[in-house]
Amino acid sequence: MLQGTTAQIKGVGFTGVSEIQLGGAVKGARPITQAGPQGCPVVPASSGVSAPC
């Protein structure tokens, strides 16, 4: 994972299934190396809100 990456949960269709979409990083960015509370890097959530179709 690269610095600048954010995660967002998006609904897929109308069945209630969701997926995690990652975005925002740019080629050449440094990796996320700082350990979070569980001992591994944390990808922050994006501020966008999404609702299922």
Per-residue confidence at 53, pLDDT binned at 50, 70, 90? very low
Structural domain contains residue 1: yes
42 with 4: CB under 8 angstroms?
A: no
Domain of residue 17 covers 1-26
Query: Bigger pLDDT: 21 or 51?
Result: 21
Q: Which residues are CB-contacts of 18 (< 8 A; sequence separation ≥ 6)?
A: 9, 10, 11, 12, 52
Structural domain contains residue 17: yes
Region 9-38 average pLDDT: 90
Total structural domains within the chain:
1
Region 20-39 average pLDDT: 92
Structural domain contains residue 38: no
Structural domain contains residue 8: yes
How much is the pLDDT for 8?
Answer: 93
DSSP 2-53: BTT-EEEEEEETTTTEEEEEEE---TTPPBP-SB-TTSSB-PPBPS------
What tens digit of pLDDT does each residue of 4-21 get? 999 999 888 888 899 999
Structural domain contains residue 37: no
